[in-house]
Structure 1
Amino acid sequence: MGEKDQDIKSPMKRVGSTRKIVMFSSIRQQLNEQLRCLDTRVESQIGLIQEIQDFFRRRGELELDYSKSLEKFARGLLLKHKEQKQKRDHWPIFSTFACWQHLVKETQSLSKDHAILADLYSISIVASLQTTIEDVQRIYKKVKLIGYEIHEDIQHLLQELHTTMKTYQRYESECKSAKLKLVTAESQRKKLEQTIAKEKLDRNKKYKLTEKEIVKRDTKYKDARLKALKAKTEYQLCLEASNTTIHKYFVEDLCDLIDCMDLGFGSMISKAILMHVSADQGRSRAILQQADNLSHLIHSIDCRADKQKFLEHHHAAFIIPKRLELQYQQDQTEIIEVDIKKELHLDMEQRLETLGQRLRDLRIECDEVWKSLETAETKLLEHYNNKDNDTSDIFTEGKLYIHKTPNSNITPKLKAEKQDIEDYYIMVSCRKHFLQINYYCYCRKFENI
């Protein structure tokens, strides 16, 4: 990756003091490890493409030196792969790795030199793979920024959870303090009742002051109790929303981000290598079986299967973390007063109505975004699957070979259109994730209320 990508730091590292994030440190470390794993993944992808690119570049040169040089070249590739086995430990998890293996074996059987093949290998395919590398780097940079934003949202959600927890604990402490003061005032009144005659209580100044103090402290206690109950409710809702968001991120959003990274990856590599396949098919019937085998491997490129192997290989980094546990004061046995219950009931009804309206709005917005996402994905795949890789007819007898630059049928306008659709697809995909996060949060709050 470039120097700029290396300088970017995860937003999960920009949190408050260590004391505030002890309970979330494992999640933060796991999110940071995910970014490192994704960096390694894209580096392996690019390294694999570069190796295939280097293969075709050198293959074009070696075609001029005939079969002995090609055999030597194949042995050199196998030896290089053996020597760098540890460095290439992640290669086998990619389905495109089988293509590279077959290309090496095929090189050992090549016996003819052909000037057109040399030109095709060293110019067209190398340039196409270079375009693929640039596309992969550009897409991954954008997806990585989206990953940072999602991590930042999770961080803010956890910070909000921490704040609501502290608020609840503070209000609960205030409630206990108010209760203690009320009990003290009541005990003072009881002492006065025991020491002063009943007929003189109504005229006793100290007794009247004590009565007023009890009323005052009772009001404060009820207010403190109401605040504590509301804070507890808010804390429980935030806790459930946090658990739901984190679960959805690990179950769905991570896979969607990797899918965004891999969109068109297999198609672009297939398009480049199919130039070689079609050339071999037109050049000689003797190697048709080998060309068919390679074609089968190319069509077996499965980015989803690669993704699953990648997730299994880095199981510790992508496993769903344990649910966050509810933390509250143990003394919760008191009976809630009737007036507090009514006020809580009204508050919950208002909250329920607000959440219901928000859920309806989010559902409509999610449906609209999903339609836009499907349309953008279809258009983008049309660009990636452009059928311009067939070169079999250039070996027809008597046909004049005319060199064509890679993607010569793609005008600057089409290229700009592809990049615009690509940017729009990633932006809408990001919007979809944010809407779904909000939707799931509100759903869980709605269900809990």
Structure 2
Amino acid sequence: MSTPSRFKKDKEIIAEYESQVKEIRAQLVEQQKCLEQQTEMRVQLLQDLQDFFRKKSEIEMEYSRNLEKLAERFMAKTRSTKDHQQYKKDQNLLSPVNCWYLLLNQVRRESKDHATLSEIYLNNVIMRFMQISEDSTRMFKKSKEISFQLHEDLMKVLNELYTVMKTYHMYHAESISAESKLKEAEKQEEKQIGRSGDPVFHIRLEERHQRRSSVKKIEKMKEKRQAKYSENKLKSIKARNEYLLTLEATNASVFKYYIHDLSDLIDCCDLGYHASLNRALRTYLSAEYNLETSRHEGLDIIENAVDCLEPRSDKQRFMEMYPTAFCPPMKFEFQSHMGDEVCQVSAQQPVQAELMLRYQQLQSRLATLKIENEEVKKTTEATLQTIQDMVTIEDYDVSECFQHSRSTESVKSTVSETYLSKPSIAKRRANQQETEQFYFMKFREYLEGSNLITKLQAKHDLLQRTLGEGHRAEYMTTRPPNLPPKPQKHRKPRPRSQYSAKLFNGDLESFIKDSGQVIPLIVESCIRFINLYGLQHQGIFRVSGSQVEVNDIKNSFERGENPLADDQSNHDINSVAGVLKLYFRGLENPVFPKERFNDLISCIRFSAAVAACRLGGTEES
């Protein structure tokens, strides 16, 4: 191919890479906007709750009429929000917003109130919401700092990939050029040798000396070009190896960020929010229950919603609300240069020893890093548990306020002595903030360490696959003494050349038609494994498994193997369940058609209503 065509192809490859990086950069900006918007919505929700309780305390004496207006006022305000539109669409809300809706409905049922309730609203509940709002803003700012650091690290990884890709293209182009010059020298040599073979009886002695001199010059030129070609070829191989290693590390880093780090960042933003809101609303519930037992039915509904204040499900709903922002991007593919058909790390003789040394160094470094990062992880988990203990103190019971006198003076003195002790609150909040500061420091350290491990592990695994079992056996004695050799599973591969339909992220009907499998092997094998080892397992299909093991099992099924064929339970049951969920989630056409979704929901509600009637003894109705 001509030089202009080659340059045009290089520009297209670079443009495609820059376009993909630009999309990731836009996603990172959109993620930050989504998290900021989520925090603003929380602050606004808490502000609405404060205004609500403040206004409610002012109209307690005529609440039968005025509280209905208040509830309608706030309900009208929420109808224009995105949460209300989501509620009208599929009745699925974030748990704090759901509590807010139920709280408004409960207000409409109120008929009278007591001065004690007004005092509790002003001096307890509103203060708690103010503290939650302050905590939410602080958590977001700290999480934002970490997210910016992660974004910078991710862009550094992408820039590194861009640099090694350009280096590889440059060295490969020089290799092609040197090869072309070498071929040209060989042609000149052949031409000169042909002339030397002509009859020499009519050639003068002087011309014979000139021809011999010309042949020697051409031979020297050929030797130089041969050496130049060998040198450039070796550089090209090394540059391609480095590009492939960096490519693997980049894909691993991007995948880790979107699958793990994003989820952890959202957890940081949510830290203590649900538990604190749980405490505040339980304070309200305690006062209401002790004031009027006739309202228990409505309050039980709110209590159930408060019990469902769960950050994990809210995080899942939140990410589903913004799928374009939190969806992992496509993996970077190896962009081969002109005429280069090698798409894997080369372990040829000139670089084999270097790769083996690099593999050993990575193995030793990973062993040290994993031990260090595991210690940091344990510290982080212990600190997180301490924070959770701090924000889950059961101090919302106000029943003592109603045991003797229901007068305003009694409530005021009891509340001030028991719940509004300023030294106690200040000390607890100071301890909490100090613990939070230590947690975020360790959390940042853990993320940085795990990111480095992910990149090094990706390079290590690629080198391990490249060098093969034979090379690893020769260097097994160089493994660190604290790392036993990883057992290898010998599985009989199953050829997939018989069918071409995709297994994951494909169409089920097409796969069944092409493969001839009535039930896909992955479904049959996973269900068999779960039936054998998972029926008594707590948290099946709810607790996430190891992402590394999930990917390993998934890749084995993709290759046509059956990693669950043996009868040994050497796989984590949560990882096997995760593979099965991943398979069904990725189908182009779901098992239950979308157009039948509403029908299925109606059937479920009908079944629930029938079950409720039977439990209530009204089966005849």
TM-score > 0.5, shorter chain as reference: yes
Partner of 2:136: 136
Q: Given residue 432 of structure 1, which amino acid in structure 2 is its aligned partner?
A: Y
**Pair 22,76 (structure 1): closer, same or farther in 2 beyond 3 Å:** closer
CA contact (8 A) 1:59 1:122 kept: no
User: For 2:264, what is the secondary structure of its paired residue?
Assistant: helix
Q: Map of 1:26-105 to 2, 5 A cutoff?
A: 26-82=23-79, 84-85=80-81, 89=85, 93-105=93-105
**Pair 364,87 (structure 1): closer, same or farther in 2 beyond 3 Å:** closer
Which one has a larger percent helix, Structure 1 or Structure 2? 1
For residues 225-246 of structure 1, give each alpha carbon's deviation from its aligned partner in whole angstroms, at most 9, with x where no partner exists: 0000000011111111111111
Distance 1:68 1:331 in 2: 82
Distance 1:367 1:444 in 2: 18
Q: Map of 1:285-364 to 2, 5 A cutoff?
A: 285-332=293-340, 341-364=348-371
Deviation, 1:195, is 2.1
Deviation, 1:66, is 3.5
CA contact (8 A) 1:282 1:392 kept: yes
Partner of 1:421: 435
Deviation, 1:86, is 5.2
CA contact (8 A) 1:202 1:208 kept: no
User: For 1:376, what is the secondary structure of its paired residue?
Assistant: helix
Which structure 1 residue ranges, 5 or more long, are not aligned? 1-16
Q: Given residue 167 of structure 1, which amino acid in structure 2 is its aligned partner?
A: T
Q: Map of 1:361-380 to 2, 5 A cutoff?
A: 361-380=368-387
Partner of 2:160: 160
Distance 2:394 2:380 in 1: 23
Higher relative contact order (CA 8 A, sep 6+): 1
**Pair 202,427 (structure 1): closer, same or farther in 2 beyond 3 Å:** farther
Which structure 2 residue ranges, 5 or more long, are not aligned? 1-13, 201-207, 464-621
For residues 423-448 of structure 1, give each alpha carbon's deviation from its aligned partner in whole angstroms, at most 9, with x where no partner exists: 12122222222222221211111111
Partner of 1:275: 283
Query: 381, 389, 396: which one pairs with 1:389?
Result: 396
Q: Given residue 307 of structure 1, which amino acid in structure 2 is its aligned partner?
A: K
1:172 paired with 2:172, answer yes
CA contact (8 A) 1:250 1:319 kept: yes
After superposing the two structures, state which structure 1 stretch, 374-383 or 174-183, moved more: 174-183
1:442 paired with 2:450, answer no
Distance 1:44 1:88 in 2: 13
Distance 1:101 1:90 in 2: 13
Partner of 2:226: 218
Distance 2:29 2:155 in 1: 12
CA contact (8 A) 2:83 2:97 kept: no
Deviation, 1:395, is 0.8
CA contact (8 A) 2:164 2:239 kept: yes
Query: 233, 252, 257: which one pairs with 1:249?
Result: 257
For residues 298-320 of structure 1, give each alpha carbon's deviation from its aligned partner in whole angstroms, at most 9, with x where no partner exists: 11111211111111121122122
**Pair 111,409 (structure 1): closer, same or farther in 2 beyond 3 Å:** farther
Partner of 1:4: none
Partner of 2:270: 262
**Pair 289,86 (structure 1): closer, same or farther in 2 beyond 3 Å:** closer
Moved over 4 A (4+): 17-20, 85-92, 197-203
**Pair 201,437 (structure 1): closer, same or farther in 2 beyond 3 Å:** farther
Partner of 2:493: none
CA contact (8 A) 1:164 1:234 kept: yes
**Pair 283,333 (structure 1): closer, same or farther in 2 beyond 3 Å:** closer
Query: 422, 430, 436: which one pairs with 2:444?
Result: 430
Deviation, 1:121, is 0.8
CA contact (8 A) 1:241 1:441 kept: yes
Distance 1:227 1:416 in 2: 59
Distance 1:441 1:56 in 2: 51
Distance 1:386 1:243 in 2: 43
Query: 292, 297, 304: which one pairs with 1:284?
Result: 292
Distance 1:273 1:428 in 2: 31
For residues 166-221 of structure 1, give each alpha carbon's deviation from its aligned partner in whole angstroms, at most 9, with x where no partner exists: 00000011111111222222222222222236997899333323222222221111
Deviation, 1:416, is 2.3
Q: Given residue 430 of structure 1, which amino acid in structure 2 is its aligned partner?
A: R
Deviation, 1:26, is 1.7
CA contact (8 A) 2:253 2:451 kept: yes
CA contact (8 A) 2:196 2:211 kept: no
Q: Given residue 280 of structure 2, which amino acid in structure 1 is its aligned partner?
A: A
Distance 1:254 1:58 in 2: 39
Deviation, 1:353, is 1.4
User: For 1:93, what is the secondary structure of its paired residue?
Assistant: coil
For residues 84-118 of structure 1, give each alpha carbon's deviation from its aligned partner in whole angstroms, at most 9, with x where no partner exists: 34585468631112221222222222233322211
Distance 1:303 1:90 in 2: 18
Q: Given residue 39 of structure 2, which amino acid in structure 1 is its aligned partner?
A: V
User: For 2:36, what is the secondary structure of its paired residue?
Assistant: helix
User: For 1:356, what is the secondary structure of its paired residue?
Assistant: helix
After superposing the two structures, state which structure 1 stretch, 300-309 or 226-235, moved more: 300-309
CA contact (8 A) 1:42 1:140 kept: yes
User: For 2:288, what is the secondary structure of its paired residue?
Assistant: helix
User: For 1:386, what is the secondary structure of its paired residue?
Assistant: coil
For residues 351-398 of structure 1, give each alpha carbon's deviation from its aligned partner in whole angstroms, at most 9, with x where no partner exists: 111211121122112211111111101111111112222111101124
Deviation, 1:417, is 2.1
CA contact (8 A) 1:127 1:406 kept: no
Distance 1:407 1:323 in 2: 56
Root mean square deviation, CA, Å: 2.6
Query: 19, 22, 25: which one pairs with 2:19?
Result: 22
Deviation, 1:412, is 3.8
